[in-house]
Amino acid sequence: MDKEKQQNTPFVTALEEYCKKNFFAYHTPGHKLGQGISAYQKKLFGSALTRDLGLMYALDDLFDPTGPLGEAMELAADLYGAGRTCFSVNGTTACIEAMILAVCGEGDELIISREVHKSVMNGLILSGAKPVYMKSRFAFDEQISLGPDLAELKRVIAAHPAARAVLFTYPTYDGVCVDLTVLADYAHEQGLVVLVDEAHGAHFGMHPGLPSSALSCGADCVAQSTHKLAGSLTQTSMLHCRRGFALTDKVVEAMSFVQSTSPHYWFLASLDSARQQMALEGHGLLERTLTLAAALRRKLNEIPGIVSFGKDILAKYGGLGGFDETKICIDFSGLGLTGAQAERLLRQEKIEAELTAGNHVLVLITLGDTVESVAALYEACLKISTICNEAEQNGAVAEIPLPEPVVRLSPRQAWQGETQLVPLEQAIGRIAAEPVLFYPPGIPVLAPGEEVTEACAVYIRKKTSEGYGAHGCADKTGKALRVIKRREK
């Protein structure tokens, strides 16, 4: 990394310089630098509205960057060790869709795990590729997935020697990292392209206390949610291609397919600014973040009825590549609470968690946390423990592993097929025409083209009975499912 160059913010600087010129706006957007905006928006955004511009050529073109925006992306590539970096204003969803589109075509096999984000399914529908699933290990004590290991990758590749690529989720939503270096090395030996959903790892490689970045582990193409843990605005992400990756140009072209042709200047400036902050201040900010997270985890484990695992999970299960300690999974089963119940109690204390599952909630400690914010979370958990120890609870319910997928059609074939809505019980044995997922984390329990097995039905009934709403499907109660219509004989 060139520390001197990383001090620059080429796109932010160009944007500010442009605004100082005070051009009369005869172009989109229609509010004309805030003059025609609603009173609420003017109050909300203020002077920032003068930076809501619609002329990409005035500064640079997101899809053909040759000026300050291109320089900003080059600095991002320098920071992350990439050969080429693309900015995304359509989140990591667009990045994942683009890398699948660039690498896989109609009928190609893409090796994935069940824990992939729903955007992977979007990419499969767009590309026409077919999923091949790896089984993931499941930690029953912690009620989380550990992802696939090398033995499973070898098994799947042996069974599908024509597979085009493999996509790993690194880390999982809970912060667990597969041994990506070992997995990527073997995949490359077998001629596969290695794609990585590193949505929750944009801070990896910026501090020795965190796991290695996916690129440094040998990934070919990596999608990162800069907004999640690296300080940019929501909806902004980056897509990195390794140096020398043969399909880089195609990835860049695919990014133009899945992004708006009217990218927001705020978002682009946010990515440039967040990159500079991470380059210049990232180590110190992450040092503080890790210290806060460690102190919180230690104090949580002192509260009766509450448990929060840490790096101890690596030695317990083996075969893993790391753990992100800024992800804190708080298990309330010792208090007789489900994760959903614990979340409701936390919200009464003004605490908003990232997600719930089984008997736990997941919270993120980030660059934005302070001693005060961490203390508020601890005090809330302590209060819940006191209340629940005084009044017995009987709500604890274990999370179960996701059902093993049975693929009958490609997601595109299912999406394009003729469908009908049937009761869930009647859907068993049929082919799903829509996804079923519980969000967050946005992981499909069932994807288009897969057989609706009894295990799928059990999982859906269990989650809905616990108060979780089904997403991606027509019936949000989970009582009915859209399936492929049977052909009349």
Pick the CATH number of 411-484 from 3.90.550.10, 3.40.50.720, 3.90.100.10, 3.40.640.10: 3.90.100.10
Nearest Cα to Cα of residue 328 among 280, 378, 279: 378
For the ranges 165-174, 233-242, 460-469, the lowest mean pLDDT is seen at: 460-469
* pLDDT-derived band at 396, boundaries 50, 70, 90: low
Q: Range(s) for CATH 3.90.1150.150 in the chain?
A: 282-390
* pLDDT for position 249: 97
| Mean pLDDT in residue range 248-272 | 96
**End-to-end Cα separation, the chain, in angstroms:** 65
Residue 440, pLDDT above cutoff 80: no
Nearest Cα to Cα of residue 427 among 373, 483, 369: 483
Distance CA 226, CA 268 (A): 12
Q: Range(s) for CATH 3.90.100.10 in the chain?
A: 411-484
Of the ranges 25-34, 99-108, 333-342, which is most confident?
A: 99-108
Q: Range(s) for CATH 3.40.640.10 in the chain?
A: 13-278
* pLDDT-derived band at 389, boundaries 50, 70, 90: confident
- How would you class 390 by CB atoms within 10 Å of its CB: exposed for 0-12, middle for 13-18, buried for 19 or more? exposed
* pLDDT-derived band at 54, boundaries 50, 70, 90: confident
Give the tokens for residue 143.
């009620």
Residue 391, pLDDT above cutoff 80: no
| Mean pLDDT in residue range 354-382 | 96
* pLDDT for position 393: 57
Q: Would you state the CATH architecture of domain 282-390?
A: Alpha-Beta Complex (3.90)
Q: Would you state the CATH architecture of domain 13-278?
A: 3-Layer(aba) Sandwich (3.40)
* pLDDT for position 397: 74
Give the tokens for residue 272.
């440039």
